[in-house]
Amino acid sequence: MNSVRRAEARDIPAILNLLVQVDMVHHDGRPDLFRGPATKYTADELKAILADEARPVFVCVDEEDRVLGHGFCVMQETGGPLLVEHTALYIDDICVDEAARGQGVGRTLYEYILDYAREKGAYHVTLNVWTCNPGAMAFYEKLGLVPYKVGLEKIL
């Protein structure tokens, strides 16, 4: 049975592999914006992120502790003259290894992240999805997420 835990330094090689998979999905959909293959973090940057309590990273692992997917999160305090003060947990990235897709890994990660957000007193969980990734959009909609703001562009 799969389980979720905080990512550790020993998970960095697997996380880097997953980050390349995420980048390639985006590169394939928007090669005008995304380089490929690449990762958005180096191993040293990941070490710093893993040590940051405000930026928890979770991994879903199998019975042999092999990383099947990851979830990068950021705790955010929001508020000001226009917005009501509240805590949000922003999901920066969820990725399931290509070989493990369709096995409930993404749902397991997401549900764990929701429980974590509740424990931390978050008002809501937010994330962004690129329109060039319809599979991710369908996945999140299936989990009950709904749009709360939309980014638009015009290529010049």
CATH code, 108: 3.40.630.30
Task: Give percent of the chain with pLDDT exceeding 70.
Answer: 100
pTM of the shown model: 0.94
Q: How far is CA 76 from the centre of its chain?
A: 15
Contact 110, 71 (CB under 8 A): yes
Nearest to 88 by CA among 43, 143, 41, 148: 148
Residue 27 to residue 104: CA distance in whole angstroms:
25
Give me 138's structure tokens: 């369908």
pLDDT band at 143 (very low <50, low <70, confident <90, very high): very high
Mean pLDDT within 104-128 = 97
Contact 83, 100 (CB under 8 A): no
Count: domains in the chain:
1
Q: Is residue 107 part of a domain?
A: yes
Give tens-digit pLDDT for 28-48. 999 999 999 999 999 999 999
Q: Is residue 103 part of a domain?
A: yes
Q: Is residue 151 part of a domain?
A: no
C-alpha distances in angstroms, 113 versus 32, 37, 76, 92, 142? 32, 27, 14, 12, 16
Q: Is residue 148 part of a domain?
A: no
Q: Is residue 120 part of a domain?
A: yes
Q: Is residue 155 part of a domain?
A: no
Residues 6 or more apart in contact with residue 85 via CB below 8 angstroms: 77, 78, 79
Q: Which domain holds residue 17?
A: 3-142
Tell me whether residue 115 is exposed, middle or buried, using C-beta atoms within 10 angstroms of its C-beta: 0 to 12, 13 to 18, 19 or more. exposed
Give tens-digit pLDDT for 51-90. 999 999 999 999 999 999 999 999 999 999 999 999 999 9
pLDDT band at 21 (very low <50, low <70, confident <90, very high): very high
Q: Is residue 152 part of a domain?
A: no
